[in-house]
Structure 1
């Protein structure tokens, strides 16, 4: 391994530049315990980036092998073989096959599920034939033994020609032995698990010569994966395709023949390695539980009950820490404003700290949601959910795993979009991310509450069905239908080379590893604060500036004009302050922008005051209530009944009530469809590694909101 080589280089040349840390890649089948092993080796010494040229996350960490010896651990996406079926799996071959890349690992640790060794060894034999130094981490040996499967580790090590280390990635057993092996200089195995047919050397030979390759099996994969290797130039790909056509290279047939040959070899070597002592064993606990949890009727009822409980917990439990954060930010602002004054203080309190509060207040929801998701993943239940829902969701261009983000979006779109990472297929993941913000999140509740109370009678039907509650439920249902049919539209428009497969192996049910749950919560919260938080704070500052200053002297004279009007109308001190706030807002840059967009929003029934509320709401939807409070001279009072009474007394130019059912329902529909959440746009930018998707969301949802609000206004007018 490169660790030892680097040490020798430093001894020979003490003034040589500092060499890079050796790289160790973790690779394995899904549900083989690879991520748990990564957490055991790195602990909190982790960071998340992205692989070059793709939008897939790259998790890396540092593992301390000895006092002065560290290695970089790279957690590669789970894959069943080196013939990828998804974008995530292609990351593996692009990292391993680019011989000129500085990202190539010096050592590969293959994580194998001991209870399903035959299937896991397919990937290992492919890696071994690439002649990459490797270690086999034999995970879940305890599970295999509980099922009556005994593995002769020494015999397996001799058959494979590489170190085989039994580990328990959940408890940390075997980590010391694995680190000792990682610190040594290892050589590739001398075993050959697949012999390339002589007829293929007409393809393999020219590829080796053109690309400077030494390994026949790697050259064969250049032929199989020509279009999937992102590091190849277009001229090289064209040359490969011409060669393959000339030699009548049939990739699918050759892959099938290779897989059969490899499994034949694996079966032979396992005859001397694996012994099954408990044949005809009673039905396993997991299988008995699956008869209930995946039942075609009861399975769905249980799932929706669990979702309801999770949503209730996230919605109710998060309210307490969110209130504490909100009160803490408000208290800090008050403390600063009581002791200091001036424009910079206002910028700090109303811009920076207020924006920071908008970031921190989401942390409880993110932490709780990902805690539940991590527990469901760790126990093995989430695999069953995706299996049950896949058939239904696929009709709309979604995936079984899309269920969790969509349901989570009812609480908050930010953690919901982050949870879409579990969707392997690129097209399904992008569609899910795109449509999730259409689900009515908790930030819309203040808007719905005010407007429904304004125009919907508080009457009951059958003694218990509240009309206002029915309207509120209808808004949530409308959001869900919008998400589903938008997904159906994207299914038709969005093109992708990869086909969507759904291959799922159910892991056995087990208790969650709480360390992994904790690491998941920490990582997701940190990512949100550091990545999305920067955008949110910046935009909050911009909005504060626009609402606090105006051109010329109109903003400065607004207070004088307000005082004159207040004196003439004999207003109270509180009413005077409210009038000052209202006129200053009207004279600010934000107010001027509101006036300028009024012609565009007139067809929806809105005036410039509502226009200001729409603009400020693009930072966060819940800003609507506070903005309307200021505009309609209610000061800082945000009691719903007060706002309701004031809005009911607002008159249009004809002296009629301004907030008619047509305007109120139009506003509700606009807020239902519009993308008015900077934090959501920021997290979509982070998840997709591109501004294309969030900008497309902004344009599509804003356009949809405008059209639907216009239709609603015309219907109710």
Structure 2
């Protein structure tokens, strides 16, 4: 049995999906499009009941790709995801707006149940809803009141779905609109008239079933007082920057000890493999390639978890909507609008869903500009690179006695991404032409406490995707890198090692072994490639090992850490339990005692990664969203050039 969840954005549909399925979820895409497809199995059910969470939409008039996907699915009975019944999630505190979509779904003639969500919020607003009368007016359909955030009414809804009684199919709410299974969407005047007629009838219904109680002034005054501060034209920005400051300080302070623990565990695992398994290629591959490469992913789970956790809290409390509102006026001179804020802030997590989120921007010029600049926002894939380099070159000191300098540098890197995105948007504004005018209409939800059970589900989903998606890439690249770093053309490695003088004293053995490892790596396939590109990156302060990591990072930015872990693990003796940071700190410029990773080199690398377009998946999504090869090509060229020039200036000024 297949059940589809349909509802407006912010109606609590995802919270309900999490309550119905728990952690038993999988995410993919609908065929041929980049629209998310989330499905899961219904809890407490002996039979197979699949729940499909459809994209949040406001109407079945397919103006956006999300709406078209939902419309196509619900109109085509031969579609493989066509539901046996539909559960429409309706926000009880915004019945008029939500009933537009509900009545459209009702008119499709598909068995439908209404999950009347956010009844607690409606109660706070003083709304009294006569559910029996509403059901009667809508043709006797089943209406189950729930609060998805707290779980209230969920068991009753699950029982209702498990019983599998035939859902009632009501008479059309607005007859004639769905004749022959099509909307007349080409004529905007016809579309506008139909929406107005539907709203007119909805208002008539609501006048019978909804009563407004007198609200205590204290509740209204509290929300207004908070909004006066958070949306203030000056203090609103100050508070937002303060929130970001606290987030990045916390990310560093709270993640340090679990990251150290994970790093130590992976070093110990490599040492155990070396000591336990018989000597040979397979043992070396596992100890020097696979384990360090995977460690480069797992070590950043604490920081990724904290980052996504804070983003979840900002969204759940209602604060993110205030950020969109206050930044609208600020964004417009740059060719963007308030709706661009959601993709840009989402870009801090990942550019791929962020670019997909631009579909909510109706104005093509503003949407295209948002797509072109969103990858400049520092995503979670950059976080491992920043963290490694900050730990490597930034002193562990406090500023003004209480501000962690490392956290301050991390915040600075994220702000640099914001500034770069805005300046790039300003440049694109001059070249992208459009006569279409834009405006921002949005709803500010009531403030509310986050539901922590939803937080757990969200973090599990995000971390699982990060680990497994990045892990597959890094696992593959780690093996390839190890092979390229272990072997060389012909007898080149053996001949180079033969030229090293044999140790004559016992104390020279350790230095001899280090020299053999260094010369072997330098004459391997990867060493030859690294030396070939070294002249181009030397002005940036990079050596050939860094160059290799830059190349492999084009698959995904976080591969940088795994690549460095593999490069600095080949031929390494793990018995001294030196971590990757220890090995990188001890790296010296050949022929000198000067460290490779100075403050100038480290900051230059951070700036390079802040600007560079090193994500093939993002380029693929840009192509899918714009339907034109020139846009991802322009993106790749301008971001790579910006990264190179900015890194060059940074190194030359600081060296």
Q: Which residue of the other structure, out of 91, 96, 106, is the alignment partner of 2:74?
A: 96
What is the correspondence of 1:247-646 to structure 2 with a 5 Å cutoff?
Answer: 251-278=187-214, 284=220, 285-340=222-277, 341-396=279-334, 400=338, 425=360, 427=367, 430-431=371-372, 433-437=374-378, 441=383, 443-444=385-386, 447=389, 479-489=417-427, 502-564=440-502, 572-598=508-534, 600-601=536-537, 611=547, 614-615=550-551, 620-621=559-560, 646=588
Q: Which residue of 1 aligns with 2:99?
A: 121
* Superposition deviation, residue 159 in structure 1: 0.4
Q: Indicate the SS of the match to 2:314.
A: helix
- Maintained 8 Å contact 1:155/1:273: yes
Aligned counterpart for 2:147 among listed residues 168, 171, 194:
168
- Counterparts of 1:379 and 1:475, CA distance in 2: 26
Counterpart CA distance in 2 for 1:628 and 1:539 is: 11
Q: What is the aligned partner in structure 2 of residue 654 from structure 1?
A: none
599-608 vs 684-693, greater mean Cα deviation: 684-693
Higher relative contact order (CA 8 A, sep 6+): 2
Q: Which residue of 1 aligns with 2:174?
A: 193
Q: Distance in 1 between matches of 2:75 and 2:350?
A: 35
- The whole-number CA distance in structure 1 between the counterparts of 2:651 and 2:44 is 67
Distance 2:595 2:22 in 1: 59
Q: Shift of the alpha carbon at 1:521?
A: 0.5
Deviation per residue, 1:409-439 (Å, 9 max, x gap): 8xxx665766777665374764454222499
1:570-626 C-alpha deviation (Å, 9 max, x unpaired): 983333222222211221111111233345456768775764565577664457987
Q: Work out the CA distance in 1 between the residues paired with 2:409 and 2:117.
A: 53
* Structure whose alpha-carbon radius of gyration is higher: 1
**Which segment drifts farther, 281-290 or 529-538?**
281-290
Separation (CA, whole Å) in 2 of partners of 1:376 and 1:474: 20
Cα distance change on mapping 1:32 and 1:511 into 2, 3 Å: same
Tell whether the 8 Å contact from 1:548 to 1:588 is kept in structure 2 after alignment: yes
Shift of 1:327: 1.0
Unpaired runs of at least 5, structure 1: 1-21, 197-214, 226-250, 454-461, 652-656
Q: Deviations over 1:492-550 (max 9, x none)?
A: 77899999764321221112111111100111111112222101111122112111211
1:147 aligns to 2:122 (yes or no): no
Summarize deviations over 1:365-415 as a string: whole Å, max 9, x none: 221112122222222222111222233235445564766886798xxx665
Q: Is the 8 A contact 1:675 1:701 kept in 2?
A: no
Output the CA distance in 1 between the equivalents of 2:392 and 2:155: 61
Q: 2:364 corresponds to which residue?
A: none
1:35 Cα deviation (Å)? 1.4
- Return closer, same or farther for 1:582/1:615 CA change in 2, 3 Å cut-off: farther
Q: Please report how far the alpha carbon of residue 674 of structure 1 lies from its aligned counterpart in structure 2 after TM superposition.
A: 4.7
Deviation at 1:276, TM superposition (A): 2.1
1:62 partnered with 2:80: no
- Tell me if the contact between 2:587 and 2:596 (Cα under 8 Å) persists in the aligned partners: no
Displacement of 1:345: 0.6
Deviation at 1:36, TM superposition (A): 1.5
SS for the counterpart of 2:268 is: helix
Change in 2 beyond 3 A, CA 1:148/1:55: same
What whole-Å deviation, never above 9, does each CA across 1:198-219 have from its counterpart, x for those lacking one? xxxxxxxxxxxxxxxxx50732
- Measured in 1, the distance between the counterparts of 2:654 and 2:266 equals 41
How does the TM-score come out when normalised to structure 2?
A: 0.81
In the TM superposition, what is the alpha-carbon distance from 1:158 to its structure 2 partner? Answer: 0.8
Q: CA deviation at 1:711?
A: 6.6
Cα pair distance change 1:503/1:24, threshold 3 Å:
farther
Coordinate RMSD, CA, aligned: 4.6
Residue segments in structure 2 that go unaligned for 5+ positions in a row? 362-366
Number of the residue aligned with 1:36: 15
Query: By how many angstroms is 1:193 displaced?
Result: 2.2
Q: Give secondary structure in 2 for the equivalent of 1:375.
A: helix
Structure 1 residues 496, 594: closer, same or farther in 2, change over 3 A? Answer: farther
Contact 1:621 1:671 in 2 (8 A): no
**2-side partners of 1:449 and 1:163: how far apart?**
58
User: Do the aligned partners of residues 193 and 477 (structure 1) sit closer, same or farther apart at CA in structure 2, a change above 3 Å counting?
Assistant: closer
In 2: Cα distance, 1:700 partner to 1:479 partner: 14
Alpha-carbon distance in structure 2 between the residues aligned to 1:567 and 1:623: 37
Q: TM-score, normalised by structure 1?
A: 0.75
Instruction: Report Cα offsets for 1:117-166 as digits up to 9, x if no partner.
Output: 12211111222222222111112223323333221111111100111211
Q: Aligned pair count?
A: 630
* Residues 137-146 or 543-552, more deviating: 137-146
